[in-house]
A and B are shown apart, each in its own frame.
Chain A
Amino acid sequence: MSEWLVHPGLVLVLGAFALPWLHGGARSAAVLALPLAALVCLWQLPEGARWQTAWLGYELAPLSVDKLSRLFATIFALMACGGGLFALRQTSRLEIPAAYVYAGSAIGVALAGDLVTVFVFWELMAVGSTLVLWSAGTKTAWAASRRYVMIHLLGGVVLFAGVTGHLLDAGDAAFVRMAPDSVAHWLILIGFLINAGAPPLSAWLPDAYPEASWSGTVFLSAFTTKTAVYVLLRGFPGTEFLVWIGLFMVFYGIVYALLENDMRRILAYSIVNQVGFMIAGIGIGTEMALNGAAAHAFTHIVYKALLLMSAGAVLAATGRRKCSELGGLFHSMPLTTICGTIGALAISSFPLTSGFVSKSMVTQAAIDGHLTWVWLALAAASAGVFLHAGIKFPWFVFFQKDSGLRPGDPPASMRWAMIAFAFLCIALGVWPEPLYRLLPYAVDYVPYTAAHVLTQLQLLLFSGLAFFAMLPWLKRTPTLTLDVDWLWRRPLPALARAAARNFGRLRDGAAVRAGSLAGRVSAGLRRHREPDGLFLRSWPTGGMALWTMTMLLAWLVLYYLP
């Protein structure tokens, strides 16, 4: 067979540069065709490493395919396609190309067989995602994108240091399973975790994502955190402390989402929550748990994009983001309400939705490992997901008190994107087998048993009861809740400004002193270099002979000294 192999990620990255030159129907066609072309290229690739090259004595494999990488690359391409369709009417001409660079480099990470390639695409993702954020064009988006890129460059530096250390320690660039047993591996792990939204820097995510445009957040929700889940799945499966990191993220996401008033920030916190389930699964590390984490990443991308599409449709139609200013939209946006509700049911793992068949594998892994406390925490968290995302989001946006707003459902391109993703949420829940076949390990799990369906319904419906019983406690107020990003928005900049002021004063003082010193030095130099100065005046030959004789005598004396 001829090696006709195209890198699916580069199809998107390079294709993105063609998009700005196209207009009208040709542009729309290209937006939809590029991710599909990437998908076709991906499925043409046989398993194994391709394009192997040597670089600085290290063997690189920038195009390596196995089941895990194909699973993630597939969902990234599908997500780019759905997001592209949703964003077709976006007036910013930068956003979709930036998003495709971002999606293509996420695919690049998924298909990277070595850590150097991982790092290169990792950084390209940071560039693409920052541009997506930028293209919203608002002042708050600009400020948020600066904070966002700062955190990601920090993560990139940590990852780079780790990869360099690994290259020196191992003498090999291959991206294989690691353990946190050396400084280099810890740095790699920390670099990965920063992008996953893990503590203590989780706040970069809910700070930045809601500031993107109505379509930009849909793209942002999918790639960065799930690429981090992918690299953790490949690099650090079974690292026990990831269980605790994951559980922390799960509850952090719930509590902050419960306090939040901005509808898209609620969903951003719930990304951290959902990624927490995946990271806990990676920490458990059994085949069941890793399958569960991978499957959950797949289904999560779809339902989270769907939720953010419905929120984006509301934002595009009303220009409002705050729950306290929304409500009653089901009257005039029935399709958006239905699609948003399907996404909400899927994130809550309701039976017959995609979340049910994926998240329960992580829970099952905790059961199989007899991890009582982990299981109890995961069950409580599952209840909490329904609370903060499953009911709270649709209730405050589409129902609750009537805000009097009567915007219509969005235009066709946005409607069809929502319908397609809502269909996927249900289809994956009803027929999980195609997804299960894509998972890295053979699946020995039956999600639909009477006992599982019943216990899940009990858990979720009684969470619903708790929501409505305690509704007065959940009343929305026009507030925000301080998070760790406060540190780099308030005290750190203040510290930097103070340091700059003091430094300025020091510098001014130093400059004055240095100036006078320099003046003296240059005056001295000038004095000695003037025609009569020490260096330039002509010396008499006699003087020269005298100095030569003095030196020779000195040498003679020194020679005879012991």
Chain B
Amino acid sequence: MKPHWLDEPRNVKRLWRLFLAVLAATVLAELAVALHPHFEVEALFGFHAWYGFLACAAMILVAKGLGLLLKRPDTYYEGDGDE
């Protein structure tokens, strides 16, 4: 069977480049579009970009930390209620 175009590492690399280019474009577009910031912090350059990134990084870290405490093998509840 012919491999799907997404299976080729070359194309995946291209997609990555495209993605990074779009990321840069959304930030640079701030220079051309008036954003009408509502809050002081929002007026910082590229606020939504770095805020989104940092917020996600923070949530992943919190999840990771919580996982250390609360993760169990997924067979944990098996056998419950058999009695």
Given contacts A458-B48, A478-B74, contact A465 B53 (CB under 8 A): yes
Given contacts A454-B29, A482-B70, contact A459 B59 (CB under 8 A): no
Q: Does A407 contact B (CB under 8 A)?
A: no
A183 CB to nearest B CB, Å: 35
Specify which chain B residues have a CB less than 8 angstroms from the CB of A30 in the assembled complex: none
Taken together as a complex, chains A and B put the C-alpha atoms of A259 and B34 apart, in Å, by: 38
Given contacts A258-B63, A451-B35, A479-B73, contact A461 B26 (CB under 8 A): yes
The listed residue (B22, B60, B72) touching A482 by CB distance below 8 A is B72
Taken together as a complex, chains A and B put the C-alpha atoms of A459 and B52 apart, in Å, by: 5
The listed residue (B26, B56, B80, B81) touching A463 by CB distance below 8 A is B56
Specify which chain B residues have a CB less than 8 angstroms from the CB of A455 in the assembled complex: 35, 47-48
Specify which chain A residues have a CB less than 8 angstroms from the CB of B29 in the assembled complex: 454
Taken together as a complex, chains A and B put the C-alpha atoms of A376 and B19 apart, in Å, by: 26
Helix, strand, loop or mixed for chain A's interface? helix
Specify which chain B residues have a CB less than 8 angstroms from the CB of A463 in the assembled complex: 52-53, 55-56
Specify which chain B residues have a CB less than 8 angstroms from the CB of A23 in the assembled complex: none
Asked whether, in the complex, the Cβ of A454 is within 8 Å of the Cβ of B33, the reply is yes
Specify which chain B residues have a CB less than 8 angstroms from the CB of A467 in the assembled complex: 56
Specify which chain A residues have a CB less than 8 angstroms from the CB of B58 in the assembled complex: 380
Taken together as a complex, chains A and B put the C-alpha atoms of A477 and B64 apart, in Å, by: 12
Taken together as a complex, chains A and B put the C-alpha atoms of A454 and B46 apart, in Å, by: 10
Taken together as a complex, chains A and B put the C-alpha atoms of A462 and B55 apart, in Å, by: 10
The listed residue (A367, A459, A470) touching B60 by CB distance below 8 A is A470
Specify which chain A residues have a CB less than 8 angstroms from the CB of B66 in the assembled complex: 255, 259, 481
The closest CB in chain A to the CB of B65 belongs to A255
A136 CB to nearest B CB, Å: 16
Q: Does A379 contact B (CB under 8 A)?
A: yes
Asked whether, in the complex, the Cβ of A466 is within 8 Å of the Cβ of B67, the reply is no
Asked whether, in the complex, the Cβ of A331 is within 8 Å of the Cβ of B4, the reply is yes
Q: Which parts of B31-83 form the interface with A (CB within 8 Å)?
A: 33-36, 38-39, 41, 46-53, 55-60, 62-64, 66-67, 70-74, 76-77, 80-81
Specify which chain A residues have a CB less than 8 angstroms from the CB of B80 in the assembled complex: 143, 489-490, 493
Q: Does A209 contact B (CB under 8 A)?
A: no
Asked whether, in the complex, the Cβ of B59 is within 8 Å of the Cβ of A254, the reply is yes
Q: Does A383 contact B (CB under 8 A)?
A: yes
Contacts A/B (CB < 8 Å), 21 sampled: A143-B80, A330-B4, A379-B55, A380-B55, A383-B52, A399-B6, A454-B26, A458-B27, A458-B46, A459-B48, A459-B51, A462-B53, A466-B56, A473-B60, A473-B64, A479-B74, A480-B71, A480-B72, A480-B73, A482-B72, A490-B80
Q: Does A117 contact B (CB under 8 A)?
A: no
Taken together as a complex, chains A and B put the C-alpha atoms of A463 and B51 apart, in Å, by: 9
Taken together as a complex, chains A and B put the C-alpha atoms of A474 and B35 apart, in Å, by: 33
Number of A-B contacts (CB under 8 A): 142
Specify which chain B residues have a CB less than 8 angstroms from the CB of A254 in the assembled complex: 59, 63
B64 CB to nearest A CB, Å: 6
Asked whether, in the complex, the Cβ of A380 is within 8 Å of the Cβ of B51, the reply is yes
Taken together as a complex, chains A and B put the C-alpha atoms of A367 and B40 apart, in Å, by: 12
Specify which chain B residues have a CB less than 8 angstroms from the CB of A457 in the assembled complex: 26
Taken together as a complex, chains A and B put the C-alpha atoms of A372 and B50 apart, in Å, by: 17
Given contacts A255-B63, A259-B66, A384-B59, contact A460 B74 (CB under 8 A): no
Taken together as a complex, chains A and B put the C-alpha atoms of A437 and B76 apart, in Å, by: 49
Asked whether, in the complex, the Cβ of B70 is within 8 Å of the Cβ of A460, the reply is no
Specify which chain B residues have a CB less than 8 angstroms from the CB of A466 in the assembled complex: 52-53, 56-57, 60
A367 CB to nearest B CB, Å: 5
A315 CB to nearest B CB, Å: 16
Q: Does A450 contact B (CB under 8 A)?
A: yes
Q: Does A464 contact B (CB under 8 A)?
A: yes
Taken together as a complex, chains A and B put the C-alpha atoms of A467 and B62 apart, in Å, by: 14
Q: Does A375 contact B (CB under 8 A)?
A: yes
Asked whether, in the complex, the Cβ of B38 is within 8 Å of the Cβ of A367, the reply is yes
Chain A to chain B: the 8 pairs with minimum beta-carbon distance, closest first: A466-B56, A380-B55, A458-B48, A258-B63, A459-B52, A383-B52, A462-B52, A462-B53
Given contacts A372-B39, A383-B55, A481-B70, contact A461 B23 (CB under 8 A): yes
Taken together as a complex, chains A and B put the C-alpha atoms of A143 and B73 apart, in Å, by: 19
The closest CB in chain B to the CB of A388 belongs to B59
Q: Which parts of A488-509 form the interface with B (CB within 8 Å)?
A: 489-490, 493
Asked whether, in the complex, the Cβ of A461 is within 8 Å of the Cβ of B22, the reply is yes
Given contacts A259-B63, A259-B71, A473-B60, contact A454 B30 (CB under 8 A): yes
Taken together as a complex, chains A and B put the C-alpha atoms of A461 and B72 apart, in Å, by: 32
Given contacts A143-B81, A482-B72, contact A259 B67 (CB under 8 A): yes
B68 CB to nearest A CB, Å: 10
